[in-house]
Amino acid sequence: MVRRNDDDGNGIPDDNLGVIYQRLFDSPYRDTAARYLTSDYRHARIVVSVESDASTDAVATDARLLADRYRQPTTATGEIVVNDDVADAILGSALKSLGVALLLATAFLTLLYRALGRDPLLGVVNVAPILVSTVAVVASMRALGIPLNALTATILAIGLGLGIDYVAHVVHRFTAELDEHQSVDEALELTVRHSGGALTGSVLTTTTGIGVVGLALTPMLTQFGVLTALSVCYSYLCAVLVTPAALGLWARTTGTSTSDTTRTQQSLAE
């Protein structure tokens, strides 16, 4: 029947497709045909074999390219492609959530510093080092081959909260030291000297406790422990290294001095 309806001899029938498909579904090969053809004869499934050592990214990319080459609307699917789409969706959601969290944190800290009689720009200075910490965590995930999923995306939010806590401690100490010393450099030096020890003790105890989770046999728990420990370490490093540089830039850009700070507090007291 196929040969009788194949006008150009390419093995594909040109006429009476409905009759041919119906004859196929009436044959002993019905179950096999149902795996590749829908009952209304309008959609078909095409199975593509891939190399066993091919990466998931390569398989997903090639599947989409293959689907785009068909003349009719075609959708690439399969476990690998679906998982890749889910990972992309999680990445987009995580980035949006982090962006919203950073904006809300910046707005809150800006209003808080303004209410305390400080320069509202300190709220921006407080959040800026966290961006460096977040980028470092994502880069470490890439280097360690850890995928971005629902669990690892949550770690970015944890790092955001811890980082703001560490940086806020340094910024608060700096403003206190700046009230007592004429030199911005001296205030920065005393800030790092007095706050660095406390933050170091905090990061050591936190990373030790969370790092133990990295020894778990379950890969998901291992990734959680390792990334959380790295996130805490990066937050600490940004607090003691990046934040002083940001504060120094803020002080020189705004022309802030001890007399300015003291004068602001006196006017509020009056």
How many Cα atoms occupy the beta-carbon half-sphere of 148 within 13 Å?
Answer: 22
* Residue 262 one-letter amino acid: T
CA distances from 244 to 95, 131, 259 (A): 27, 15, 20
CA distances from 102 to 66, 78, 99, 146 (A): 40, 36, 5, 24
The C-alpha atoms of residue 216 and residue 105 are separated, in whole angstroms, by 33
Q: Radius of gyration of the chain from Cα atoms?
A: 30
Burial of 168 (0-12, 13-18, 19+ CB in 10 A): buried
259 pLDDT higher than 70: no
What is the pLDDT at residue 108?
92
11 pLDDT higher than 80: no
Per-domain boundaries in the chain: 1-45, 85-269
How many other C-beta atoms lie within 10 A of the C-beta of residue 76? Answer: 21
The C-alpha atoms of residue 201 and residue 186 are separated, in whole angstroms, by 23
What is the pLDDT at residue 96?
84
The C-alpha atoms of residue 237 and residue 130 are separated, in whole angstroms, by 10
Flag whether the pTM goes above 0.95.
no
DSSP character at residue 214: G
111 pLDDT higher than 50: yes
What is the pLDDT at residue 162?
82
DSSP character at residue 37: B
Tokens 């959601």 appear where? 93
CB 189 within 8 A of CB 262: no
Backbone φ and ψ of 183, nearest 5°: -95, 130
Compute the Cα dihedral for 163, 136, 151, 225 and give only its sign. Answer: negative
133 pLDDT higher than 60: yes
260 pLDDT higher than 80: no
Out of 21-30, 95-104, 159-168, pick the least confident: 21-30
What is the pLDDT at residue 262?
44
Instruction: Work out the mean pLDDT of the chain and round it to a whole number.
Output: 80
Query: At 44, is the secondary structure helix, strand, or coil?
Result: strand
Distance of CA 17 to the CA centre of its chain: 50
What is the pLDDT at residue 107?
92
Q: Which fold has domain 85-269?
A: Multidrug efflux transporter AcrB transmembrane fold (1.20.1640)
Give the pLDDT band (50/70/90) at residue 191: confident
Model confidence pLDDT, tens digit, residues 28-79 = 878 887 777 877 777 788 888 888 788 777 888 888 888 888 777 888 888 8
- Give 71's contacts (C-beta < 8 A, 6+ positions apart): none
